[in-house]
Amino acid sequence: QISADDSYSNFSKLPLARIKKIMKCSPQVQMVAGESPIVLAHTCELFIKEITSAAWSHCTAQGRRMILESDLRAGL
């Protein structure tokens, strides 16, 4: 939950300006609402966390401690 006092720039570990720039790459998008990059950044972080968790599970099941590309593929 984000309170009104929180800084939105510190909310995400992903660069919000870059996300906004990527969103504007589409010719159909002319303007991006202020909270859209924040929501998309949070969604991307959750996606990355899920993939990493699944890849780690596959990696440890194979008896390794380093995630390989094959672990990421198996996690998907």
Domain locations along the chain = 35-75
5 pLDDT tier (thresholds 50, 70, 90) = very low
pLDDT score for 12:
76
40, 44, 65: which is closest to 55 by C-alpha?
65
Q: Name the one residue in this structure whose structure tokens are 């596959």.
A: 58
Tell me the pTM: 0.74
User: Going by C-beta distance under 8 Å and a sequence separation of 6 or more, which residues neighbour residue 23?
Assistant: 29, 32, 36, 37, 40
